[in-house]
Structure 1
Amino acid sequence: MSSFASAAFVGLILRRMALAGLEPPADVTASGLLARALQPGGNVQVALALKQALLRHAAIERGAGFLLGIGQGIHDMPSDPTLDVLRRAASATDLLLRWQRLESYHHSHHRTRIEALDEAGGTALLHHVSLGPAPPAAVEDIVVLGLLAALLQAIGCHGLEIDLIPGDGAALAAMRDDRILLGAALPADGTAQWRLHWRQQPRSTAAPVSAEPLAEPSAETAAGGLSERLYALFDDDPFREWSLGEAGRALGLSSRSLQRRLAEAGAGYAGIQRDARVKRAARAMLAGPATLAEIGYAAGFADQAHFTREFRRVTGMRPAEWRRVALAPPPV
């Protein structure tokens, strides 16, 4: 299981603390570990113990309501590989599935289970659980809940109402009409199960899919043009799992016609998808200091082994080796 937190997430916590005039605890600052982990080009993972220390300190100084509001900082965050994937979700269901895949990809100790979900009615019942013997700490429960609330808002869900559900079933109001109600005190129990309701449905960000196939492209453009159009479709949102039928409709073709045109061009559906994901990952490796785990997730790979295997198949190198060679200074 992962014993590290994303530096982007820890940076979000620090920014929200700074806006509130709250300094990190002295022992964390004195250690120097946080500063080294967050410096440009440095280690982009932070030990979970440091993240937990920051959250405990923030809870003591500003209370549970502040923790729930940390996630609101994503609305001002610039592009980030993981956050971009989550903000591309086309619906609440899509968002929650992307979040679960993120937890699985990073082998997180904690997982968010969907106990009930009604997309049409705008309701969900979630449970934050641990894969180990110790349950998640209340401070971690509340911050994750706040992140999910902010992500729902980011994809167009508004009028959020959120309750914490303790074991006795007496709901504790955490948010009403997008406004945080949670007070300063951390609830003693019941922070891990959450009931969410939203009034406004998200606006779909998925690529448009034609209701009926359009006219097939001419023979002159089919060979190269179709492969390029399919590649662009995958590259636009590499995380999305396109079925053959969905991709065909988006390109104005039946699935059978799509397969036939690709075969005529000597191309394969899976190969084009793999190339799009590998090239997206390669661009991300050159663009900044994100971890290979973050890059592989954002590029749509199922797990880190899948990322390594497919990247090596295309480039002949493992991702870490390719990045080292690509970023090496030219010989003098």
Structure 2
Amino acid sequence: MSPDVKRRLLDHACRIAGPGFVLQVGQGIHAVSSDPTLDVLRRATDPAALLDRWSRLEKYHHSHHRVQLVQLGKGCARLRHRSLRGAPPHPLESLAVLGLLVALLQAIGCVGVDVDLAGGGPDIPAIREGRAQLPALPGEADEWVIRWAALRAENRIQPLPVAADLIERLYQLFDDDPVRHWPIAMAACKVGMSTRGLQRRLNILGVSYSGILRDARVRRAARAMLDAPASLAEIGYAAGFADQAHFTREFRRILGASPAEWRRQVASTSPG
């Protein structure tokens, strides 16, 4: 959808139902059972991880508008919605993004979410207990203070089941959450080894840690192309690649074809 079309839709929604409705549109994600991009975002274990994944999504799609983390504290975050070039985001665009982020915070287990619009004078209450409280469109809506009362522990990812083979355990680990940053020290901790011990073991097996991580992401992407009709952009992001060029380069290196070529080849050989 083009930016012009998106803005016209937002303008129309605001005229018909008010700016509070624009803030609530993001709540629609709770009705989506499965989607590659949403699944990645909803796998975040806490608000900091969610904001990191959101930032990587914006960079992956080369978005002109970006959410900047100004400050992150216990139970609160201050964010700014900015433009990389040209005019700043329209207030309705900022409200739509803010509403989606609030819905995602709720999806990962944040309860009691409150939001104030800040930066343009006195703070303006926008959301209380997850519900919009915005009767009129503000002149500025590009700086937000978000607070949450608690993060439900049951939403956090459970420990990875132990598998017998070390390499398969690493594949399982990366496949479980491919978008996470995976420094070797973190993976070593997850499989119950020291960093040096994991490096030594992989050297003995004749494989590299970075190679397993790349291969796991390509495996994930290839499987997604077989299982769902999602776009290649969604699949590449959900598999943990930095951008489309990175996705294409690593996919071709391992499978000998670009993602688009590989998808066409698979489709041409499928029965029916």
TM-score under structure 2 length normalisation:
0.94
Q: Report matched runs for 1:39-50 at 5 Å.
A: 46-50=1-5
- Secondary structure of 2:145's counterpart equals strand
Name the CA distance, whole Å, in 1 between partners of 2:183 and 2:149: 30
- The count of residues paired between Structure 1 and Structure 2 equals 271
- Secondary structure of 2:79's counterpart equals strand
Q: Which residue of 1 aligns with 2:56?
A: 101
TM-score under structure 1 length normalisation:
0.77
Q: Which residue of 1 aligns with 2:88?
A: 135
Q: Report matched runs for 1:209-288 at 5 Å.
A: 225-288=165-228
Higher relative contact order (CA 8 A, sep 6+): 2
Q: Which residue of 2 aligns with 1:201?
A: 151
Name the CA distance, whole Å, in 2 between partners of 1:237 and 1:284: 14
- Secondary structure of 2:134's counterpart equals coil
Name the CA distance, whole Å, in 2 between partners of 1:262 and 1:331: 40
Q: Which residue of 2 aligns with 1:171?
A: 123
Name the CA distance, whole Å, in 1 between partners of 2:76 and 2:156: 20
1:251-278 CA-to-partner distances (Å, cap 9, x unmatched) read 1111122112222222221111111100
Give the letter for the 2:108 counterpart.
Answer: I
Structure 1 spans left out of the alignment, 5+ residues: 1-45
- Conservation of the 8 A alpha-carbon contact between 1:91 and 1:202: no
Aligned-pair CA distance for 1:99: 0.6
1:76-130 CA-to-partner distances (Å, cap 9, x unmatched) read 1121111011000011011011111111110111000111111xx2111111011
Aligned-pair CA distance for 1:309: 0.9
Give the letter for the 2:58 counterpart.
Answer: E
Q: Percent identity?
A: 54
Aligned-pair CA distance for 1:48: 2.6
Q: Which residue of 1 aligns with 2:32?
A: 77
Aligned-pair CA distance for 1:207: 5.5
- Conservation of the 8 A alpha-carbon contact between 1:92 and 1:202: no
Larger Rg: 1
- Secondary structure of 2:169's counterpart equals helix
Aligned-pair CA distance for 1:330: 5.1
Give the letter for the 2:126 counterpart.
Answer: A
Aligned-pair CA distance for 1:172: 0.8
Aligned-pair CA distance for 1:331: 8.8
Name the CA distance, whole Å, in 1 between partners of 2:148 and 2:14: 27
- Conservation of the 8 A alpha-carbon contact between 1:277 and 1:301: yes
Q: Pairwise CA RMSD of aligned residues?
A: 2.1
